[in-house]
Structure 1
Amino acid sequence: MPIFRTHDDVELWYERTGTGPPLVVLPGGPGSDLRYLADLGGLDRDRQLILLDARAVGRSALPADRSTVAFTEQARDVEALRRHLGLARLDLLAHSAGCLTAQEYAARHPDRVRRSVLVCPVGRAEREPDPAELAELHASRSAEPWYPDAAAAERELAQGPAPAEVAGVQARLLPFFWYAWHERLRAEYDPAYATALPWFREAFYAGSATGPTRSARLARLAAARTALLVLAGAGDGMVGTAPARAVAALHPRARLAVLERSGHRPWVEQPAEFRALVNDFLAG
């Protein structure tokens, strides 16, 4: 079985798919099962993808200590996976919230990361999404038939719906997360792939520092001179492009690419362009 044990003896699940040089992949969410990534738009034709279910997610075990799901702590799991695979250095790709874990790992082990790809990174550690950018993105969709319901859901979410209603309200916001919404895209969201643990999100982001501690952490990230590709979707109404631009500006060896016809999952909307960008970058 594709399982390994971490420093604190937690069993984590991973999968291999495709052929070619290995590429370790960290899903987002936070708390999303690796299966939502599928083959990353056919990237498995060029790379052997090694996809990791984070602790307490998917088929990985639940740790006794909830604090260990913080992204700063999960960097230790990436190192345990590297050792398990017997790799001297990693190529690393992360999506959304997983980008925080990837950056933390590169900051701790800069000599063990060859190249890193961050896809639609979230905020928390560098810069939060820009409310003005998101408002403009959402308003630009006002002529689309689904817009009135999505806009109403956005207002309801801001007012704080009852806990039992949150998932339903959030589902109505899905069209904002895509450059072009088609009903078939609902199949991209399997409820079973999202964490059901109500405490997971808060525990994951507990590694987000503030004040002087935040400044020290950002300086440590900037000092990690790993070659970095940051990808953003121009139509990403979930986080916008501001966090990606902030990450690229922070890292001295970063390259930023904005896919003009993509939202938060560019490997679905522009698979050929996504593959080309990633492959060209990893080839050096």
Structure 2
Amino acid sequence: MTTFTGPDGTRLGYRVLGRGEPLLVLAGGPMREAAYLGDLGGLSAHRALHVLDLRGTGRSERPADPADHRVDRQVADVEAFRTHLGLDRVDLLAHSAGCSLATLYALRHPERTGRLVLVTPSLRIFGSTSSEDDYREAAEARGLAEQEWYPAARAAVRTAFAGGAADPDAVAPLFHGTWDAAARAHEADRTAQSHPEAAAAYHGGGFQPADVRAAVAELASPALLLAGEYDPDPRPGAIRATAALFRHARTAVQPAAGHYPWLDDPAAFSRTVAAFLAP
């Protein structure tokens, strides 16, 4: 683990996997320790992954003010990361809620942004949210009615959309294309890798969805928005609609994948991303 100092003095950690041209990687969660990304299904064979632990997660220090976990304030950390690495321009890959940070970085620093890969992105900064029907549609596409764990998952989703506190362990299988041993192991680390206080602050302000939608229409950086066929949040249709807002973007839908497509089919994931990032 290597470290550098953020603009406010917060010590930030990152790890480097693989060799070659750097690819800056931002985790989701929101605010989950970046270890859950692994090497992104072998993508490290194609690029040197510079994987940042966002402030308050993993080996990175927590800021004195919890509000500094807000996504717009962390844009300065990404810029400090680029400067630390001595790069004029950076390609960025982000997952889920990390895509909000990557997008805001690209909008604030377009001259420093190369290609942008947004993997099963949170669409909150665009003003888009999923519904209970989206979860039902994804479950039907997977044919989950006969799975023993599905009634509890469905009840947890219903509770969440009614404003209650859903059991994250019950919902977890819905976010994986296959609820197998690898998926269970991936979820077993979730609680230890999470930072609830930071997660609550992350999307807490600093952006206006209408402004973001207008700004990405002018963004020159090419973008790939990668969806999982079975992901309930966001659904591929919502990702396609969001990609259409960008000046230069396309959508790829990975078959039979959930919210973590590099786990469901590592080869397909790394092949799709590497092809997009190729010169």
**Aligned-partner residue type, residue 120 of structure 2:** C
The answer to whether 1:241 aligns with 2:236 is yes
- Could you list the per-position Cα deviations for residues 66-114 of structure 1 after superposition, in whole angstroms to 9, with x for gaps in the alignment? 2221111111111000000001110110000000000000001111111
Structure 2 Cα separation of the partners of residues 181 and 67 of structure 1: 35
Aligned residue for 1:200?
198
Contact 1:177/1:264, CA 8 A, preserved across alignment: yes
Match of 1:186 among 184, 187, 212: 184
Aligned residue for 1:176?
174
Structure 2 Cα separation of the partners of residues 55 and 128 of structure 1: 25
Instruction: Decide whether aligned partners of structure 1 residues 228 and 152 sit closer, same or farther in structure 2, where only a CA change above 3 A counts.
Output: same
Instruction: Decide whether aligned partners of structure 1 residues 131 and 192 sit closer, same or farther in structure 2, where only a CA change above 3 A counts.
Output: closer
**Aligned-partner residue type, residue 88 of structure 1:** D
Structure 2 Cα separation of the partners of residues 216 and 158 of structure 1: 27
Contact 1:122/1:243, CA 8 A, preserved across alignment: no
- My pick for the range that moved more, 237-246 or 122-131, is 237-246
The answer to whether 1:113 aligns with 2:113 is yes
Contact 2:32/2:195, CA 8 A, preserved across alignment: no
The answer to whether 1:4 aligns with 2:4 is yes
Contact 2:216/2:247, CA 8 A, preserved across alignment: no
What does 1:104-253 correspond to in 2, within 5 Å? 104-126=104-126, 127-139=128-140, 140-158=143-161, 169-189=167-187, 190-197=189-196, 199-207=197-205, 209=207, 213-253=208-248
Structure 2 Cα separation of the partners of residues 157 and 215 of structure 1: 26
Structure 2 Cα separation of the partners of residues 223 and 231 of structure 1: 20
Shift of 1:39: 0.9
**Aligned-partner residue type, residue 274 of structure 1:** F
- My pick for the range that moved more, 225-234 or 149-158, is 149-158
Aligned residue for 1:30?
30
Structure 1 Cα separation of the partners of residues 159 and 131 of structure 2: 20
Question: Secondary structure of 1:49's partner?
Answer: strand
Aligned residue for 1:49?
49
Instruction: Calculate the aligned-residue CA RMSD, in Å.
Output: 1.9
- My pick for the range that moved more, 224-233 or 149-158, is 149-158
- With the length of structure 2 as denominator, give the TM-score of the two structures: 0.92
- Could you list the per-position Cα deviations for residues 19-69 of structure 1 after superposition, in whole angstroms to 9, with x for gaps in the alignment? 121111000000110100111001111111000000111111111122221
Shift of 1:239: 2.8
Structure 1 Cα separation of the partners of residues 114 and 275 of structure 2: 14
Shift of 1:192: 4.9
Instruction: Decide whether aligned partners of structure 1 residues 250 and 159 sit closer, same or farther in structure 2, where only a CA change above 3 A counts.
Output: closer
Instruction: Decide whether aligned partners of structure 1 residues 130 and 257 sit closer, same or farther in structure 2, where only a CA change above 3 A counts.
Output: farther
Which residues of structure 1 form unaligned runs of 5+? Answer: none
**Aligned-partner residue type, residue 182 of structure 1:** D
- Could you list the per-position Cα deviations for residues 145-167 of structure 1 after superposition, in whole angstroms to 9, with x for gaps in the alignment? 321222233334445667xxx5x
- With the length of structure 1 as denominator, give the TM-score of the two structures: 0.90
Shift of 1:131: 3.8
Shift of 1:262: 0.4
Question: Secondary structure of 2:124's partner?
Answer: coil
Aligned residue for 1:66?
66
- My pick for the range that moved more, 239-248 or 262-271, is 239-248
The aligned length equals 275
Shift of 1:134: 2.2
Structure 2 Cα separation of the partners of residues 262 and 237 of structure 1: 11
Structure 1 Cα separation of the partners of residues 219 and 205 of structure 2: 18
Shift of 1:115: 0.6
The percentage of aligned residue pairs carrying the same residue is: 40
- My pick for the range that moved more, 41-50 or 151-160, is 151-160
Structure 2 Cα separation of the partners of residues 7 and 260 of structure 1: 41
